[in-house]
Structure 1
Amino acid sequence: MQATRQNAASQQGFDKTCDLLVVGSGGGALTAAVTAKRAGLDVIVTEKMPYFGGTTATSGGMLWIPGNHHSPALQDRLDEPDSLDVARRYIIEEAGNYADIDRIDAYIKYGPEMIDFLERESHVRFFGQEYPDYNMDHRDARRTRSLSPVEYSTKHLGKNALKLKPELKQLLFLGFAVGSSVEMKQFFKAGRSPKAFAGVAVKMARHLLDTAIHGAPRRVVRGRALITRLAQTLFELEVPILLSSPVVELIVEDGVVRGAVIEGPEGRRRIGARKGVVLGSGGFPWDNKRRAEAYPANAQDGTPRSVANPGNTGDGARLAESVGGVFSAEISNAGAWMPTSVRPDVQGPDAVWPHLVDRLKPGFICVSPSARRFGNESAAYSAFVPMMLEGAKDVPMAFAWLIGDKQAVDRWGIGRVRPKPMPRKSFIKSGYLIEAKSIEDLARKTGLDATQLRATVERFNTDARVGLDTEFRRGSNAYDAYQGDDDHTGPNLCLAPLEQAPYYAIKMYPGEIGTFAGIRTDRYARVVDEAGQPVQGLYAVGNDQLNVFGGAYPGAGATLGPGLTFGYVAGRHAAGLLD
């Protein structure tokens, strides 16, 4: 991708002009578009995929925004006071040597302002969610900083609903998208609780009726609810979202980015942008060349195992570099890590499963290729994968085995395998799920050392019976406990011995929900050059932007929180409302 440099007289050669051209259609990009349009700018959104929504549409949809106006009610109920100064200290210490204080201060300042704006000027609505920050051992961590979008209906999009990115099929239950963590727990309990079963039955009946009448379910939750609400706002404001229209070049005139060349259904077109271009193309999780350059050596082998949008192939970084911008991997974690597994008989992104639930529950452990535990299985995914990488540092591509006994797998499922009474024979036949009659049999089938695996399980079982993990302190803080089993009768909500055959195992790999390495920007989301000076007329938001937390992951929603915040900042700055 190259920049097209011309003199000012060539401006009349544009096929179409606007004030601000937004590249991408995830949460950060659409927030930039809404903000700029509400500020009076003429906006065009362009998206390379045949649908809009980006990774946001298939994400959990949570935002981590300290100081948001929904937090005080939670703080009062939990008796957990918070302030922006406390949150700022937490972020800076989590970012460590990679802390960019100026950008952190911008995030702290504009995040709450962004929430107020969206709830006032768009269809977006949030609710405060009690959700522990990811490092609850830190004195400044809290349980009141995360927000979730209120569920919605695609009926508001009319015919544009057909262009909304579909859910990840593997995460649906008979086509039903589970929303909040409370609803998820209800589904897990449905096989053993008449009350939970009745609640799930009612929801499934409504879902099936909706599908029968309309041809598809209309209820949207999590990230799809957020995208639906943002998109409805844009459609009502008559902001076009051009699909199947990737940007292939940036147009620079007199040292300022003034537009872009897109390849769309109508062919190649030059779009002029008087106030500039916003890059929000989703980072590089499906760009193997960039992954090889930025990731630890044993975190990639040329086969992405990602739940991110497959259209996120590093376009933004290449475009920024073509006009003097800088891509940086100077960050603690290049990826927004997620442990994943892959069903071998399914192709593409539909094969990938993010391990968000199983490994954190009682009755599961994770072991490295050496058959030893390597960390706290209940840790946040962002912290768990670096442990996996370290535990498998001697193998070319890191992996770990997730192991559970019959009781745990019946109760929680494992990976793509649903809890009892859902069948699991097809998963065993495909090789995705390994079933064994004993620990020694499991070792043989996984290639692990049987003596070491038996010793690992016995030590864990001894700890689990007394509720104290002497190796990794699993279950010792509020995050671990929140992710455990509220109905577990043992002394630790996260620990239960593995002692009921058969035993099950699934092979997990380092994966990601997005990328943290990215384009260097300033506090106004402007792309900067090697000297730290703004590339005039060019912004980067979302996962295109170098992560504001320095590669740390402070809490639930720490990708979308900055994404939407700096989308808001970019839109405001382009409109001349920030200086």
Structure 2
Amino acid sequence: MCNDFPDSEYDLVVIGSGAAGMTAALVAHFGGMKVAVFEKDSYFGGSTAVSGGAIWIPDNPKMRAAGMTDNRDEAYNYIANETGELLNPSLVRAFLEAGPEMVGFMEENTYLKFEHRTFSPDYHSDQPGASLGGRVLDAQTFDGRLLKKQFNRLKPPIEDFTIFGGMMLNRFDIGHFMNITRKPASAWHAFRLLLRHARDRLLYSRGTRLTLGQAIAGRLAYSAIEKEIPIFTEVALASLKVEADKVVGFHTNDGREILAKHGVVLATGGFPGNGDLSKSVMPHVQAGSKHYSMSPKPAIGTAIEAAEAIGAHFVKTNKHAGFWAPVSLIPSQHGERPFPHLFLDRAKPGVIAVNLDGRRFVNEAVSYHDFVTGMIEEEVHEAWLVCDHQTLRRYGLGPVRPFPSPFKNQLRTGYLKRGTSLEELAEVLSMPSDNLIETVKRFNLDACTGTDQEFGKGSTDYQTYLGDAEHEPNPCLKPLEQAPFYAIKIYPGDIGTSMGLATDEKGRVLDKENKVIPGLYACGNDMNSIMAGSYPGAGITLGPALAFGYIVGRDASEAKRASENYKEEAV
């Protein structure tokens, strides 16, 4: 793995170094192909490296080994209900069949090892076919030191997802850190992690204990290193090379030509960094709403545009163009940076979201995708997350950490707003104080009874899963009573795009007449999402990315063997 000049020809070239592309490369390698990965960024890992790392694979072997059961037909029906008339039956069936196979293959042949979440409800846990646990997988924590000199080439995690200069925490760790002053076991767990991190910082620029998406990217990269699969960074796709109606390679941005005898795989992460394209398919942006993406900037849709240039079909009919997430903007020396409000704050007891008029507009505990969908449907271009002092110190709010972490800097920069009373907070936020007071009064009455009559916060297993299990009567509801009060402004955003290239069940790219374009594959967010713009559960981007990466690598290697056998028979 190096940035030496690549060979002029490979069996298969993969463009993009995230989970989908790396999986396709590894599977193809084990299928006997000469493979290379090309990455536009100066780092490898793509959006996978900065993701939460959840992987949705129904009926996977890890849950089965733990004695859990699942039904693929129920999972299919769940997806069908989510996607409605946009359901692509052949692709969904291919995913449900290949997903468990992929898990077994990767565990047997690579360093990508998984563990299942025993309890992790699908986002619409009250709907038919949903599961309360087992379908979501995580990569096992990975020791980044194994990457040696290549560690610095792995794309770093989002800065605000780390503490103390690059220390990563998983969900299990976060729970301990939130209870560090309350439970001795949590304090001991945190102490051991801090000691490990202190040792890391003597030799590395950040922590080497990799969790979440970093663990996936690190484990895949380590597997590629061992198999001597080259990953060339700072090599961008300019156009696809076509001969006799077949894709036979690509041209780089610096004029080089890389040939691929048996196919090109597009896995560059979609188009979240392409403002013009995003605006053309996002009605709320057209209406004037600000929108911020958490995906890496290099993902600007170049692969999709290159494929369209040779006749590929770019699907624009999904329910939503992106996988939505509310974001706030953190001031910094280099301008504002977006922070995603995924699962740590909105569902917690004592947190509400209000529009600029001081009124609630959505159930705060729904998934991040559904929360922004609510913003879009109610034409709320900006909103505020509001809580009281007790809630802020117990759970935190966005990047504002719970007690004992200080938060004076967030107040000083204006990121966190404060008022000694609701009237003062409303004045600070430039909203009608009567509306905010009435909103909080109504919410507080419901919180005391444990039932949010207005929006149903805390009414499903998924929502209460993200609340505080120790809080009663509802893990998601608590009155806002203890002054001072705080607020953070949030906007619509995304963690990736859902619209992509049309493919068949083998990951082969289709043209506008639904015919296969020979030699061209797509997976990850370059492939149109099998969820069609819906968001059924945690990991519905990485799950299909890994599954179709596996499918693509398998099909390409099988096609190579078939071609070689044909030539031998012809001789």
For Structure 1 versus Structure 2, the TM-score category normalised by the shorter chain is over 0.9
Contact 1:401–1:505 (Cα < 8 Å) also in 2:
yes
1:11 equivalent in structure 2: none
Contact 2:347–2:458 (Cα < 8 Å) also in 1:
no
Counterpart secondary structure, 1:359: coil
- Report the alpha carbon displacement of residue 520 of structure 1 after superposing the two structures with TM: 1.2
Correspondence for 1:171 among 130, 147, 161:
161
User: For 1:33-90, what per-residue CA distance to the aligned partner results, in whole angstroms no more than 9, with x for missing partners?
Assistant: 00111100110100000110001011111110001101225564xxxx4211111111
Q: Distance in 2 between matches of 1:369 and 1:502?
A: 20
Q: Are residues 351 and 470 of structure 1, via their aligned partners in 2, closer, same or farther at CA, if it must alter by over 3 Å?
A: closer
Q: Distance in 2 between matches of 1:46 and 1:536?
A: 20
Q: Does 1:422 pair with 2:405?
A: yes
Letter in 1 for 2:222: Q
Residues 75-90 of structure 1 mapped to structure 2, 5 A cutoff: 76=68, 81-90=69-78
Correspondence for 2:89 among 77, 94, 101:
101
Q: Distance in 2 between matches of 1:315 and 1:354?
A: 28
Q: Distance in 1 between matches of 2:536 and 2:55?
A: 11
1:190 equivalent in structure 2: 180
Letter in 2 for 1:21: V
Q: Are residues 560 and 346 of structure 1, via their aligned partners in 2, closer, same or farther at CA, if it must alter by over 3 Å?
A: farther
Q: Distance in 2 between matches of 1:296 and 1:456?
A: 29
2:223 equivalent in structure 1: 233
Contact 1:285–1:304 (Cα < 8 Å) also in 2:
no
Letter in 2 for 1:20: L
- Report the alpha carbon displacement of residue 192 of structure 1 after superposing the two structures with TM: 3.9
Q: Does 1:68 pair with 2:60?
A: yes
Counterpart secondary structure, 1:94: helix
- Report the alpha carbon displacement of residue 279 of structure 1 after superposing the two structures with TM: 0.5
Letter in 2 for 1:494: C
Correspondence for 2:120 among 118, 131, 154:
131
Contact 1:298–1:389 (Cα < 8 Å) also in 2:
no
- Report the alpha carbon displacement of residue 21 of structure 1 after superposing the two structures with TM: 0.7
Q: Does 1:290 pair with 2:277?
A: yes
1:461 equivalent in structure 2: 444
Task: Supply the RMSD in Å over aligned alpha carbons.
Answer: 1.9
Q: Distance in 1 between matches of 2:43 and 2:290?
A: 24
1:9 equivalent in structure 2: none
Counterpart secondary structure, 1:518: coil
Counterpart secondary structure, 1:155: helix
2:497 equivalent in structure 1: 515
Provide the aligned length of Structure 1 versus Structure 2: 554
Letter in 2 for 1:284: F
User: For 1:384-425, what per-residue CA distance to the aligned partner results, in whole angstroms no more than 9, with x for missing partners?
Assistant: 1101112235xxxx1211001001001111112111222212
Contact 1:438–1:501 (Cα < 8 Å) also in 2:
yes
Contact 1:75–1:82 (Cα < 8 Å) also in 2:
no
2:209 equivalent in structure 1: 219
Q: Distance in 2 between matches of 1:203 and 1:261?
A: 46
Q: Distance in 2 between matches of 1:428 and 1:349?
A: 15
1:43 equivalent in structure 2: 35
Q: Are residues 317 and 301 of structure 1, via their aligned partners in 2, closer, same or farther at CA, if it must alter by over 3 Å?
A: farther
- Report the alpha carbon displacement of residue 258 of structure 1 after superposing the two structures with TM: 0.3
2:9 equivalent in structure 1: 17
1:406 equivalent in structure 2: 389
Counterpart secondary structure, 1:451: helix
Q: Distance in 2 between matches of 1:351 and 1:105?
A: 36
Correspondence for 2:151 among 144, 158, 161:
161
Q: Distance in 2 between matches of 1:463 and 1:413?
A: 22
Q: Distance in 2 between matches of 1:137 and 1:546?
A: 27
- Report the alpha carbon displacement of residue 454 of structure 1 after superposing the two structures with TM: 1.0
Q: Does 1:122 pair with 2:114?
A: no
Q: Distance in 2 between matches of 1:123 and 1:215?
A: 24
Deviates more, 1:415-424 or 1:214-223: 214-223
Q: Does 1:356 pair with 2:346?
A: no
Q: Are residues 299 and 381 of structure 1, via their aligned partners in 2, closer, same or farther at CA, if it must alter by over 3 Å?
A: farther
2:556 equivalent in structure 1: 574
User: For 1:198-251, what per-residue CA distance to the aligned partner results, in whole angstroms no more than 9, with x for missing partners?
Assistant: 321221111111221455422111111111111111111111100000111110
1:493 equivalent in structure 2: 475
Counterpart secondary structure, 1:327: coil
User: For 1:130-172, what per-residue CA distance to the aligned partner results, in whole angstroms no more than 9, with x for missing partners?
Assistant: 2111101113111221000001112222211121111111111
Q: Are residues 348 and 533 of structure 1, via their aligned partners in 2, closer, same or farther at CA, if it must alter by over 3 Å?
A: farther
Contact 1:521–1:540 (Cα < 8 Å) also in 2:
yes
Contact 1:74–1:144 (Cα < 8 Å) also in 2:
no
Residues 271-290 of structure 1 mapped to structure 2, 5 A cutoff: 271-290=258-277
Deviates more, 1:450-459 or 1:337-346: 337-346
2:522 equivalent in structure 1: 540
Q: Are residues 241 and 151 of structure 1, via their aligned partners in 2, closer, same or farther at CA, if it must alter by over 3 Å?
A: same
Q: Which runs of 5+ in 1 are unaligned?
A: 1-13
Q: Does 1:56 pair with 2:39?
A: no
Counterpart secondary structure, 2:325: strand
2:318 equivalent in structure 1: 331
Counterpart secondary structure, 1:389: helix
Contact 2:312–2:501 (Cα < 8 Å) also in 1:
yes
Q: Distance in 2 between matches of 1:468 and 1:303?
A: 33
Please report the TM-score for the alignment, with normalisation by the length of structure 1. 0.92
User: For 1:237-288, what per-residue CA distance to the aligned partner results, in whole angstroms no more than 9, with x for missing partners?
Assistant: 111100000111110001000001113xxx4311000111100000111100
2:242 equivalent in structure 1: 252
Counterpart secondary structure, 2:488: strand
2:567 equivalent in structure 1: none
Letter in 2 for 1:134: Y
1:308 equivalent in structure 2: 295
Contact 2:16–2:38 (Cα < 8 Å) also in 1:
yes
Q: Distance in 2 between matches of 1:194 and 1:234?
A: 41
Q: Distance in 2 between matches of 1:553 and 1:236?
A: 35
Contact 1:66–1:145 (Cα < 8 Å) also in 2:
yes
Counterpart secondary structure, 2:387: strand
Q: Are residues 514 and 299 of structure 1, via their aligned partners in 2, closer, same or farther at CA, if it must alter by over 3 Å?
A: farther
Q: Are residues 325 and 87 of structure 1, via their aligned partners in 2, closer, same or farther at CA, if it must alter by over 3 Å?
A: same
Letter in 2 for 1:424: F
1:473 equivalent in structure 2: 456
1:6 equivalent in structure 2: none
Q: Distance in 1 between matches of 2:444 and 2:540?
A: 34
1:5 equivalent in structure 2: none
Counterpart secondary structure, 1:251: strand
Deviates more, 1:191-200 or 1:316-325: 191-200
- Report the alpha carbon displacement of residue 351 of structure 1 after superposing the two structures with TM: 4.3
Counterpart secondary structure, 1:82: coil
Contact 1:75–1:144 (Cα < 8 Å) also in 2:
no
Counterpart secondary structure, 2:514: coil
Counterpart secondary structure, 2:492: strand
Deviates more, 1:193-202 or 1:468-477: 193-202
Q: Distance in 2 between matches of 1:75 and 1:449?
A: 55
Q: Are residues 276 and 569 of structure 1, via their aligned partners in 2, closer, same or farther at CA, if it must alter by over 3 Å?
A: same
- Report the alpha carbon displacement of residue 356 of structure 1 after superposing the two structures with TM: 2.6
Q: Distance in 1 between matches of 2:334 and 2:520?
A: 37
Q: Distance in 2 between matches of 1:346 and 1:474?
A: 37
Q: Does 1:450 pair with 2:439?
A: no
Q: Distance in 1 between matches of 2:524 and 2:249?
A: 20
Counterpart secondary structure, 1:329: coil
- Report the alpha carbon displacement of residue 376 of structure 1 after superposing the two structures with TM: 1.2
